């Protein structure tokens, strides 16, 4: 009866093949998330009449920070022994293995460099604008994980349980599928939570004075994302074998331990932002940069 009530998920991760290379749902959803994020941040910068070069520089810093941080996060947090013994494997991003916690750390470093070298403003000023589309991009990434039959949860008897294909690569090459038991589709759980974050941060920026309360939008986004991430890990399968001993010794896995500092940081940012008065940042305006100089009249 459980199987009849469950969802048999047999979507092919590959959309099509071109010139011998697979184009996957995961990559497409990543690109969609990135395009939407770029559009929203660009709209924010135009809304505040900020210099165009600020946006161009931010784009480069963020892309490098996300990819490098997410890849190193997976390699060093989850499988350090393997990747330190085989450092060239770290470069094979196309084979998978990106950690969201590492991506966040990469973003933090990128924003620190961007704030020092470009805007000369507080890092939180940048974070409050970058956080607005983060929920949408994160949701697209989790839907990509769903298409890849990866990062799902443990068994469940709920009617929305998904039967994923365990032997996904052999199946893609013609083998018969081997299905899991009905399992928690944690990718969907997380995607829905991140879309809620997206809605809240969009509302805070465009309909309130939150952008002038330094750190408020960032704090709200980080708190919800990592608080939810902490709890969803209880029904998620472990990502690497080494986590079993950690769970046995501490009751928590790697993802949960990494989430705790972010939850505390989010709380602190919210409390700190609400305690301080609203302050509008003194930023240069794009329109003023190209304003023609007025000629002085000769007396």
User: CA-CA distance, 102 to 109, in Å (whole number)?
Assistant: 11
Q: Write the CB contacts of 76 (distance below 8 Å, at least 6 apart in sequence).
A: 83, 102
The verdict on residue 163 lying in a domain is yes
9 in any annotated domain: yes
In a domain, 292, yes or no: no
In angstroms, the CA 34 to CA 98 distance is 15
**Quick check: is 79 in a domain?**
yes
pTM: 0.83
- At 32 the pLDDT is 94
pLDDT at 88: 81
Q: Is residue 34 part of a domain?
A: yes
- Please count the structural domains in the chain: 1
CB burial of residue 18 (10 Å; 0-12, 13-18, 19+): exposed
Domain with 117 in it: 2-278
Give residue 7's pLDDT: 92
Look at residue 155 and tell me if it is in a domain: yes
Is residue 285 assigned to a domain?
A: no
The mean pLDDT values, 10 residues at a time, for the chain of 299 residues are 71 84 85 93 93 91 87 80 81 68 84 92 93 95 93 92 94 93 96 97 96 96 95 85 78 88 96 92 74 56
């Amino acid at each position: 009866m459980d199987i009849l009530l469950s969802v048999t998920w047999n979507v092919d991760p590959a959309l099509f093949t071109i010139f011998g290379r697979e184009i996957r749902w995961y990559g497409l959803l990543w690109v969609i998330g990135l395009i939407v994020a770029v559009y929203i941040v660009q709209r924010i910068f135009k809304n505040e009449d900020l210099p165009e070069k600020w946006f161009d520089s931010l784009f480069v810093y963020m892309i490098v920070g996300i990819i490098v941080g997410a890849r190193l996060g997976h390699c060093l947090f989850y499988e350090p022994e393997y990747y330190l013994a085989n450092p060239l494997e770290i470069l094979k991003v196309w084979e998978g293995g990106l950690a969201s916690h590492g991506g966040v750390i990469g973003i933090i470093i990128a924003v620190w460099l961007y704030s020092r070298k470009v805007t000369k403003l507080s890092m939180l000023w940048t974070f409050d604008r970058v956080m607005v589309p983060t929920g949408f991009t994160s949701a697209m990434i989790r839907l990509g994980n769903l298409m890849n039959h990866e990062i799902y949860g443990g068994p469940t008897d709920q009617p929305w349980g998904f039967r994923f294909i365990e032997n996904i690569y052999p199946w893609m090459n013609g083998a018969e599928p081997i299905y899991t038991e009905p399992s928690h589709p944690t990718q969907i759980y997380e995607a829905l939570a991140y879309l809620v974050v997206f809605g809240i941060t969009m509302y805070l920026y465009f309909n309130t004075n939150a952008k002038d309360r330094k750190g408020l939008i960032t704090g709200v986004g980080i708190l919800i994302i990592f608080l939810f991430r902490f709890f969803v890990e209880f029904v998620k399968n472990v990502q690497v074998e080494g986590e079993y001993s950690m769970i046995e010794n501490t009751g928590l896995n790697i993802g949960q331990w990494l989430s705790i500092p972010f939850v505390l940081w989010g709380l602190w940012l919210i409390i700190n932002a609400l305690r301080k008065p609203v302050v509008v940042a003194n930023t240069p305006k794009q329109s003023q940069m190209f304003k023609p100089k007025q000629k002085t009249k000769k007396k």
